[in-house]
Structures are given as structure tokens and as C-alpha cells.
């Protein structure tokens, strides 16, 4: 266990709380509530995820990528909950940061095959999600498509086993949330923001890989 790395990661996550909270508020203005409380809650959540990532990948050059996934994932999930949308700029930032971070990791650890696999997986995920969007435009949007490509890119780095496990966790968690919404509202056509469960499942897949 890399105690020092975990401690530093947790501290960085906590300090990022106000910045991430401001990012969320700009994209999806809140309806009341305390800005300080929001910053603290987001900081604590980010700190916890950064610590878990450091505990799992503290000795790897991929750690910045998983922390970036966690930070941008928190922002996207909160925006989706507030406004039922996934801003393209945010999903683009999630993807671009991951590409840069994993490219650096590939160079440091000589894992270009894994990096290529991640790019191919992400592109495939983007194409499949795009096809779904064209087939059922009423239920998916550009943000959903971009998010799918981004999440599959990260999972693609983990190999076939990690990719499949992450996809099962993400889709399974989303199905559970959907079922819960149906039971609560007693309506088959009830909609809900799928971004948070997809992101949570993906991060869980990364941590369990």
C-alpha cells in the first residue's frame, strides 16, 4: 500500500472541491443551497475517489488518468442530475485529459499496445452509441454518445476482461436505477439521468480491475 501517495491524492481531491463545485455551478446553476456546503461535499467525494484510485494504482503512471476520470465524472454526474444533460465540452474534457494522461503512462511504462486498445475501444463505443442515438433519438443525445465513447476508452486500457467487467457494472447499475425509477413512478416510460450510474459503474470497474 502506497500510504504517502494515498494521502497526497486524498488531499489534492479535497482541495479540488471548490474548483469542481464552481465548474458544476457554471454549467448547471443550482436552485438555492449553500455554496460552501456543496464545495465541501464535492471535495470529500473527490478526495475519497482519489484515495481509492491511489490505493489501487499508486505505483502506476496511470494514476493521473483515473483521478481525472473521477473528477470529471463527478462534475458530469452532478450536471446530469441537475439538468438532465451531459455537456459536450465536459465529455470532451474527460476524453482529452484521459488521452493525454494515458499517452504519458504508455510512454513511461511502454504500454503502447494498451493505449492503442483503449483508442480502438473508445472509437468503437462512440460509433455504437452514435448508431443507438440515430435509432432512438428521443432517448439519447450527443452528450450520451460522447460519454459512452469516453468511458469505453478508459475501460479499454484495462484489457478485454477489464472492459467487459466495467461495461457490465456500468450497464447493470444503470438497469438497477432504471428499475427503481419504474417502481417508484409506476411508469415504463419514466426517464432518469443515466450519466451518474454509467460513470459510477465505470469507476467501479477501474477500481476492481
What is the residue extent of each domain of the chain? 3-208
Residue 187 is predicted with a pLDDT of 64
> Higher model confidence: residue 202 or residue 29?
202
The model carries a pTM of: 0.92
Whole-number pLDDT of residue 92: 93
pLDDT of residue 61: 96
Residue 20 C-alpha cell reads as 469542481
pLDDT at 181: 74
Amino acid at each position: 500500500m502506497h500510504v504517502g501517495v494515498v494521502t497526497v491524492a486524498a488531499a489534492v481531491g479535497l482541495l479540488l472541491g471548490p474548483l469542481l463545485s464552481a465548474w458544476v455551478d457554471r454549467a448547471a446553476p443550482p436552485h438555492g443551497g449553500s455554496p460552501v456546503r456543496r464545495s465541501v461535499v464535492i471535495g470529500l467525494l473527490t478526495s475519497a475517489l482519489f484515495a481509492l484510485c491511489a490505493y489501487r494504482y499508486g505505483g502506476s503512471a496511470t494514476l493521473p488518468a483515473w483521478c481525472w476520470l473521477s473528477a470529471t465524472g463527478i462534475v458530469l454526474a452532478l450536471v446530469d442530475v441537475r439538468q438532465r444533460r451531459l455537456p459536450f465540452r465536459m465529455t470532451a474534457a474527460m476524453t482529452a485529459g484521459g488521452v493525454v494522461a494515458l499517452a504519458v503512462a504508455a510512454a513511461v511504462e511502454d504500454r503502447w499496445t494498451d493505449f492503442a486498445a483503449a483508442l480502438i475501444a473508445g472509437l468503437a463505443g462512440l460509433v455504437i452509441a452514435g448508431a443507438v442515438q440515430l435509432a432512438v433519438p428521443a432517448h439519447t443525445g450527443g452528450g450520451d454518445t460522447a460519454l459512452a465513447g469516453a468511458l469505453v476508452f478508459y475501460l479499454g486500457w484495462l484489457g478485454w476482461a477489464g472492459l467487459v467487467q466495467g461495461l457490465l457494472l456500468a450497464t447493470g447499475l444503470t438497469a438497477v436505477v432504471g428499475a427503481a425509477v419504474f417502481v417508484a413512478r409506476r411508469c415504463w416510460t419514466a426517464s432518469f439521468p443515466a450519466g451518474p450510474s454509467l460513470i459510477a459503474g465505470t469507476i467501479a470497474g477501474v477500481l476492481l480491475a
